[in-house]
């Protein structure tokens, strides 16, 4: 059931991207934007839509920030793949944007996707001016130097530090690089409903860390063809990961523990939160 809902939400988000991007001029940069927003699990967009459903928000409102967070996530991947960052040639089983076009087009496509995210989150259809302003403000914090960009900066710094990062340092790094956007996504429904997002924040913080530990496990055990990207990059670069610090079995146990914490955070919602709990279980069971 969960995978069906995830797939349905992914299709809705893709349809929204098709609608929004079709209104732009037919240029390399807009073609690159469309290319970068295709595929993927759309977990962040799903979290927006499902947290909105949990609070009785009309899907016609929620689809805008759900598409917005996927635009912002796509921008982060386009820039992360650049030669000056991770220098990857494969993403979701296809050539990365700078390989298919060029570096300049990739930079501009990423820039445009980032600004598109804020445009989509502040559309009149989303809700009141107060709701839209809150979504934009919190997304700015989650994606910038207090969130995702901070995590990316710490990750780059870790490549040249003489000492491997500690477990505490890696946890801080990943709370920004991966966790911040997951947290924003899970809290979006509560913000749309103008209620306290604290339970969803606790859920998302545990979920985001479990997601990253699962990524580190997949980097060791995964299939590159299923993953659609190069694996074992961190090991090749000599970077510390949850697996290298904890060991494979302990990392798996820690991820499972975090999933239980995430599920417990939603107990106050009763059976209505089962799909979000299934999402938490999915992140450590996935094979890509």
Concatenated DSSP letters of 165-198? PPHHHHHHHHIIIIIHHHHHHHHHHHHHHTS--H
- pLDDT given for residue 221 in this prediction: 84
- pLDDT given for residue 161 in this prediction: 84
Residue 206 C-beta-side C-alpha neighbours within 13 Å: 23
- pLDDT given for residue 231 in this prediction: 58
At 136, is the secondary structure helix, strand, or coil?
helix
- pLDDT given for residue 164 in this prediction: 84
Which segments of the chain have a pLDDT < 50? none
> What's the pTM?
0.94
- pLDDT given for residue 238 in this prediction: 64
Query: Alpha-carbon distance 123 to 101, whole Å?
Result: 30
């Amino acid at each position: 059931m969960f995978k069906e809902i995830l797939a349905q939400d992914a299709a809705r988000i893709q349809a929204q991207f098709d609608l929004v991007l079709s209104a732009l001029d037919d240029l390399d940069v807009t073609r690159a934007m469309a290319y970068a927003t295709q595929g993927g699990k759309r977990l962040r967009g799903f979290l927006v839509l499902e947290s909105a459903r949990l609070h009785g928000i009309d899907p016609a409102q929620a689809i805008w920030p759900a598409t917005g967070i996927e635009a912002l996530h796509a921008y982060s991947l386009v820039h992360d793949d650049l030669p000056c960052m991770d220098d990857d040639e494969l993403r979701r089983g296809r050539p990365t944007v700078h390989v298919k076009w060029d570096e300049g087009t990739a930079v501009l496509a990423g820039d445009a996707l980032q600004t598109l995210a804020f445009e989509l989150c502040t559309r009149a259809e989303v809700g009141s001016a107060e709701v839209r302003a809150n979504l934009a403000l919190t997304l700015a914090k989650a994606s910038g130097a207090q969130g995702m960009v901070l995590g990316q900066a710490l990750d780059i710094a870790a490549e040249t530090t003489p000492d491997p990062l500690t477990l505490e340092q890696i946890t801080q790094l990943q709370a920004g690089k991966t966790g911040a956007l997951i947290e924003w996504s899970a809290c979006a429904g509560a913000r749309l409903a103008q209620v306290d997002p604290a339970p969803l924040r606790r859920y998302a913080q545990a979920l985001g860390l479990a997601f990253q530990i699962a990524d580190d496990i997949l980097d060791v055990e995964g299939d590159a063809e299923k993953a659609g990207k190069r694996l074992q990059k961190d090991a090749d670069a000599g970077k510390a990961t949850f697996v290298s610090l904890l060991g494979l079995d302990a990392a798996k146990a820690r991820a499972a523990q975090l999933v239980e914490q995430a599920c417990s955070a939603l107990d106050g919602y009763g059976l209505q939160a089962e799909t979000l709990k299934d999402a938490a279980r999915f992140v450590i069971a996935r094979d890509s």
